[in-house]
């Protein structure tokens, strides 16, 4: 058997899986193996004795002509150098092409160059596999980037100085609101949440998301009052690198982060007019462009908006688009003020005290009957947030397991007839009280930052924002 192969080497050449061409110094084909025939569709008797560059190697992949004097196989015949070539194509008889890798090797006899041999293989499937892997890796990177951005966003959300009270209450007006939440949650309808500051509008929005089919996807919040018109568009729609000064890298907006989930637009009444038309387009078409980009992107989101403003009055005064108003006001839910549901105060206090026990490391059992009576006699212009601040202050001050009110509400939480009280005013009073209790010590285990349950840097930032100093 070995002798047979030695006497007829073509048996081996015909058996290999790679295509093999043999050429003389004129570039004519002198050998074509069966594998080359199978891959190209050209039979050996059609190519032997001919310059086959014009048959299988005449053009690049993009259709540009491939001159014979540039062909790496022919170059080997002229200079006798071995070559390994990737990234080219061979053409089949039917006009189709396939990606190849080949070697071009000189053939010598008696130290004289007499021709060349080209050995090639079809790498189309390999390239497809590699491309599929690159695509998969790109998708993984895209998802990883999105998850990282969502994670960063959620971490920032968790660090916000606002403790959710939970949707608790037995009053008729509150139970009516809960029924509305249950009805609209399973749908994709846009919800407009109305109510005074501090009533728990964000908590309603989060529960709408939790009870929806989108609950396994992101709940993304945007405070429309926190940004200028230009920065708000960047926050909502994202931006490309170099879109404006300071845009050092591309950034996904909240719409992209909320894809397949819920986007909560808080304080929608503060949205600038120039941004309202762009928001309207997203609500209508579910598509947008990043700032600095002309590429249209599509999203599948549910929008929930909230405001303490009278949007219809804003429409009539020209400060809010009427078409956007009707787009948002599909299913309005009004969150009642605490003044409207004072019978819920005992349940709310129980819920808040349970949270304060965890946050402050306390073991408070509840409120005295006298304290509950005092709380229910107050009108709560700051609503649940103000109630939370009062309870937190008393929890810090109290040395007993049952809370009493150590300060009159009309002094410690601002006079009840002051209907202009806002959250900043309540926070300022609360922070001042804790600072006084801590002898104005901010850091350390006995400092105000620890008692308030926030980082020292956050407390200092709030003090600057609220103009709090020792002379306050």
The pLDDT assigned to 174 comes to 92
Q: In this predicted structure, which of 8-17, 70-79, 359-368 has the lowest mean pLDDT?
A: 8-17
* Over residues 388-404, mean pLDDT: 89
pLDDT tens digits, one per residue of 237-288: 776 765 566 666 667 878 888 889 999 999 999 888 888 888 888 888 888 7
Residue 166 CB-half CA count within 13 A? 14
pLDDT of residue 143: 76
pTM score, whole prediction: 0.56
pLDDT grade, residue 414 (50/70/90)? Answer: very low
Tell whether the torsion through CA atoms of 444, 447, 452 and 454 is positive or negative. negative
Cα–Cα distance for residue pair 380/223, rounded to 1 Å:
24
DSSP structure string for 329-369: TTEEEEPPPGGGGGGGHHHHHHHHHHHHHHHHT----EE-H
Q: How far separated are the first and last CA of the chain, in Å rounded?
A: 105
Planar angle of CA 196, 304, 179, nearest 5 degrees: 70
The answer to whether residue 181 scores a pLDDT higher than 90 is yes
Instruction: Band the pLDDT of 316: cuts 50, 70, 90.
Output: very high
What span, in angstroms and rounded, lies between the C-alpha atoms of 35 and 44?
A: 11
**Beta carbons within 8 Å of 249's beta carbon, 6+ residues apart:** 241
């Amino acid at each position: 058997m070995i002798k047979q192969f030695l006497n007829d080497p073509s048996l081996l050449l015909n058996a290999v899986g790679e295509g093999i061409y043999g050429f003389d110094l004129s570039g004519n084909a002198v050998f074509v193996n069966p594998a080359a025939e199978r891959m190209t569709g050209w039979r050996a008797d059609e190519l032997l004795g001919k310059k086959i560059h014009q048959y299988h190697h005449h053009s690049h992949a993009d259709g540009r002509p491939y001159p014979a004097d540039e062909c790496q196989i022919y170059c080997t015949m002229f200079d006798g150098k071995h070559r390994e070539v990737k990234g080219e194509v061979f053409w089949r008889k039917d006009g189709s092409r396939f990606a190849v890798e080949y070697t071009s090797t000189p053939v010598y006899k008696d130290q004289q160059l007499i021709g060349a041999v080209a050995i090639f293989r079809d790498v189309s499937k390999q390239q497809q596999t590699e491309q599929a892997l690159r695509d998969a890796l790109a998708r993984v990177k895209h998802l990883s980037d999105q998850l990282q951005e969502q994670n960063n966003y959620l971490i920032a959300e968790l660090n916000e100085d606002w403790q959710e009270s939970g949707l608790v209450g037995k009053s008729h007006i509150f139970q009516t609101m809960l029924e509305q939440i249950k009805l609209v949650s399973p749908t994709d309808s846009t919800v407009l949440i109305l109510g005074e500051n501090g009533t728990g509008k964000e908590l309603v929005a989060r529960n709408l998301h939790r009870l929806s089919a989108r609950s396994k996807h992101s709940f993304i919040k945007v405070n429309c009052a926190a940004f200028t018109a230009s920065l708000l568009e960047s926050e909502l729609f994202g931006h490309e690198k170099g879109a404006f000064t300071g845009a050092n890298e591309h950034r996904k907006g909240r719409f992209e982060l909320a894809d397949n989930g819920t986007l909560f637009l808080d304080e929608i009444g503060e949205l600038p007019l120039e941004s309202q038309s762009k928001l309207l387009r997203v609500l209508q078409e579910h598509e947008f462009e990043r700032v600095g980009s002309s590429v249209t992107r599509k999203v599948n989101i549910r929008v929930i908006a909230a405001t303490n403003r009278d949007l219809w009055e804003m429409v009539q005064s020209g400060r809010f688009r009427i078409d956007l108003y009707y787009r948002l006001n599909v299913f309005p839910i009004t969150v009642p003020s605490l003044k409207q549901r004072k019978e819920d105060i005992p349940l709310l206090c129980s819920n808040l005290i349970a949270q304060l026990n965890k946050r402050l490391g306390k073991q408070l059992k509840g409120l005295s009957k006298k304290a509950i009576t005092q709380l229910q006699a107050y009108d709560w212009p700051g609503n649940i947030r103000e109630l939370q601040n009062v309870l937190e202050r008393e929890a810090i001050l109290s040395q007993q397991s049952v809370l009493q009110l150590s300060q009159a509400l009309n002094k410690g939480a601002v006079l009840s007839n002051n209907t202009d009280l806002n959250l900043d005013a309540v926070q300022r009073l609360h922070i001042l009280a804790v600072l006084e209790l801590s002898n104005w010590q901010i850091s350390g285990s006995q400092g105000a930052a620890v008692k308030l349950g926030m980082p020292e840097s956050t407390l200092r930032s709030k003090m600057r924002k609220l103009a709090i100093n020792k002379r306050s």
